[in-house]
Amino acid sequence: MPDKPGALIKIDKTDRRILEQLQQDGSLTNQELADKVGLSPSPCLRRVRAMEDAGVIVRKVTILDHKKLGLSLTAIILIGMDRHTPERFAAFEEQVAEYPEVQECYLITGQDADYMLKVVVPDMDHYHHFLLNRITRIQGVSGVHSSFVLRRVIDSTALPLGYLS
């Protein structure tokens, strides 16, 4: 994959169909995938491996049901930092990367915050402990605003591949 941000990999219609199928079910066998996209298994596998080698396919994961595992509280946390320096941001990012409760972390603009985190925990008691004993103890955190998810309306990991030619 190109090292420059914004550099694009050429994806043809067949690659796009492969990616669409894999986004829906990453556990498809090569034979099943080939059948769904109208290829024989060998060229299908070559295309998948080429997209893996190019970094288009980053990894394959299993999606778990958070509620069935007792992780029923999802919080969206906006975090303000006291200083806007690369060192302060790097230290924060390094710290939150160590917390398994943090599902997503974004450096953002347009809010009265610098970061937005998506956090999953069992309940409010666990969230309270996570907030007080982890987030607020990170050097440089100057403000925290939490919102709680009532219902997941759209919960997708699939990218909108319709934009690809």
Range with lowest mean pLDDT among 7-16, 35-44, 112-121: 7-16
pLDDT score of 156 more than 80: yes
User: Total structural domains in the chain?
Assistant: 2
Rounded Cα distance between 20 and 22, Å, is 6
Q: Which domain holds residue 34?
A: 13-53
Instruction: For residue 123, give the nearest of 62, 61, 156, 75 by alpha carbon.
Output: 75
pLDDT tens per residue across span 20-67? 999 999 999 999 999 999 999 999 999 999 999 999 999 999 999 999
Specify the pTM: 0.86
CATH number for position 31: 1.10.10.10
- Identify whether 3 is part of a domain: no
Name the 3-class secondary structure at 31: helix
Same domain, 142 and 91: yes
Same domain, 90 and 139: yes
Report pLDDT for 33.
98
- Identify whether 5 is part of a domain: no
Report pLDDT for 2.
42
- Identify whether 108 is part of a domain: yes
- Identify whether 158 is part of a domain: no
| HEC string for 136-150 | HHCCCEEEEEEEECC
Q: Which whole number is the average pLDDT over 64-85? A: 97
- Identify whether 163 is part of a domain: no
CATH number for position 122: 3.30.70.920
- Identify whether 46 is part of a domain: yes
Rounded Cα distance between 87 and 67, Å, is 37
Separation in Å, CA 110 to CA 78, 114, 115, 146: 12, 9, 11, 17
Same domain, 144 and 85: yes
Same domain, 36 and 78: no
- Identify whether 44 is part of a domain: yes
Predicted confidence band at 112 (pLDDT cuts at 50, 70, 90)?
confident
Same domain, 48 and 78: no
